Amino acid sequence: MPELTIDVKEAESRLRELLEKVAQGEEIILTESERPFARISPISAPAGPRIADLHPGAFQASDDFDAPLPDAFWLGEE
């Protein structure tokens, strides 16, 4: 994946151009005082639509799944 390094102050004025580069697959590294601190990278498209109930029975929730947690948990006593 091609990579471009740019100072954040310059990136502010070139945001639209940089986003177009990201859309084309390029990765942008933002720097401040010549130190890298953030990365802008493209997000891959999902493989396809999700299918409901694809694996029936693969997950079993316990009977108390949505029961409130005990006070001791919230007070840090457990």
Task: Enumerate domains of the chain plus CATH numbers.
Answer: 1-41 (3.40.1620)
Can you list the pairs that 57-65 forms with residues at least 24 positions away whose Cβ atoms lie under 8 Å?
none
**H/E run at residue 46:** none
61: tokens are: 């929730």
pLDDT in tens, 46-58: 788 888 888 888 8
Q: How confident is the model at residue 63 (pLDDT cuts 50, 70, 90)?
A: very high
| Distance separating the N- and C-terminal Cα atoms of the chain | 47
The C-alpha atoms of residue 63 and residue 65 are separated, in whole angstroms, by 6
pTM: 0.56
Which residue type occupies 71? D
**Is pLDDT at 35 greater than 70 in this prediction?**
yes
What is the C-alpha separation between 15 and 28, in angstroms, rounded? 11
Query: In this model, does residue 1 exceed pLDDT 70?
Result: no
